[in-house]
Amino acid sequence: MTSRFTSGARGVAAARRESASRLPALPLAATLLTAMVALYMALVAFGNITDFDTNRQFVRHVLAMDTTFKDPDLMWRAITSHTLQDIAYVLIITWETVAALVLVAGAVSWVAGLRGRAGLGRARWLSTVGLLMVLLLFGAGFIAVGGEWFAMWQSKSWNGLDAATRNFTVAGIVLVLVHLPGTNSSAEQDD
């Protein structure tokens, strides 16, 4: 009786090792990292909605260029209208919210794909769209437009370039991972 139990336990352990060796590591990583960026973007959007004024001041100062070197050759770019500044801020929050929702849908699709209920193509596509939205927001919006066009790099008080670069880098790394061979579909995982 003891030997049968021991051999049965060994068989279960061997089956677990075999199953773990077939764990789709790249799709699992894509799932977790997509979910992480989704969580981050959701928290950013939530924070901007619930504490509207804090980052509105950031956007206003960047667009007004009031803490830059005030070079007359650049100051013509400044946007000093509070209405236009607030419109820009609301557009940023809307973009963040949509990116978060798309990434959440991507993460849910990855989970469904890992459970074998769906292919991973939809998850990959949704993740790509959401991550590109994050890259555009932080790369084009904050680094290029805010940093260069509105000379945010000149401000000691209202400079978000480090945070934007960090967010851009993380989203870029996750996007590369999502597109590595082996994250395409369930069929590829078996090959």
How far is 152 from 33, CA to CA, in rounded Å?
30
Tokens coding 163: 């945070």
pLDDT reported for residue 38: 98
pLDDT reported for residue 59: 98
Tokens coding 65: 């260029």
pLDDT tens digits, 128-148: 999 999 999 999 999 999 999
Question: Whole-model pTM?
Answer: 0.85
Cβ neighbors of 33 (< 8 A, separation 6 or more) are 173, 174, 177, 178
Cβ neighbors of 120 (< 8 A, separation 6 or more) are 27, 109, 110, 113, 183, 184, 185, 186
Give the closest residue to 155 by CA, choosing from 61, 60, 73, 68: 68
What per-residue string of b and e applies to 47-62 under the rule 16 or more CB within 10 Å gives b? ebeeeeeebbebbbbb
Give me the torsion for CA of 146, 150, 154, 157, rounded to 10°.
Answer: -60
Average pLDDT over the chain, rounded to whole?
A: 90
pLDDT tens digits, 76-127: 999 999 999 999 999 999 999 999 999 999 999 999 999 988 889 999 999 9
Residue 180 CA to chain centroid, in angstroms? 17
pLDDT reported for residue 188: 44
